[in-house]
Structure 1
């Protein structure tokens, strides 16, 4: 499902490529480490993206205040609309375990942007 093409397209997006960890988010990332941050990501995805029906879709992921939120916007894994547009994951159905794992991998890839 994930391809280099997706990350190439994300890098060409002025909006997506503008997201960088800095300040408190970067300090938090360094303090917690990648494994703990990815555990947080799994929790956020399972609660905010995985359900089939999300009443506030498109607004469920803040832009700041946690490294995962910043990474979700950078990788277009922030809402079901972006998942459909950028990653081809349909809206209106619960995410499978494989799709959740895919999103975790997508969030783990662009660490060179930190």
Structure 2
């Protein structure tokens, strides 16, 4: 599993990953619910959609919009097991450990914080 600094540096070089930004609806949701609640959602999404050894609809299980976590997952390459393998060094084909799940949520948390900090400027 790669550390987040290394992963985020690589993600910075991806035009695809860099195009993701929170829309007004997702920003409003994040502000209304609060980061703590949204990160609880992130942990649930990771546990349900990514943690299984062979997730249902892998590669297509994360919508492209509708929730701040979905946007963050695409921006941080925590959207499917293929992306976790390629970008985070977390291999496919095994049940994600607690530390691997926490790693994915930490990536989402970091990206959301960066998005919020961008609002302040």
- Same fold, TM-score > 0.5, yes or no: yes
State the TM bucket, normalised to the shorter chain.
over 0.9
CA RMSD of aligned residues (A): 1.0
**Residue 101 (structure 2) aligns with:** 100
**1:23: how far off?**
1.5
Relative to the length of structure 1, the TM-score reads 0.95
Q: Which runs of 4+ in 1 moved over 6 A?
A: none
Unaligned runs of 5+ in 2: 117-121
Relative to the length of structure 2, the TM-score reads 0.90
**Residue 113 (structure 1) aligns with:** 115
Instruction: Provide closer, same or farther for how the CA distance between residues 3 and 44 of structure 1 changes in structure 2, counting only shifts above 3 A.
Output: closer
- CA–CA distance in 1 between the matches of 2:26 and 2:87? 25
Q: Which moved more, 1:77-86 or 1:100-109?
A: 100-109
Count of matched residue pairs: 114
Unaligned runs of 5+ in 1: none
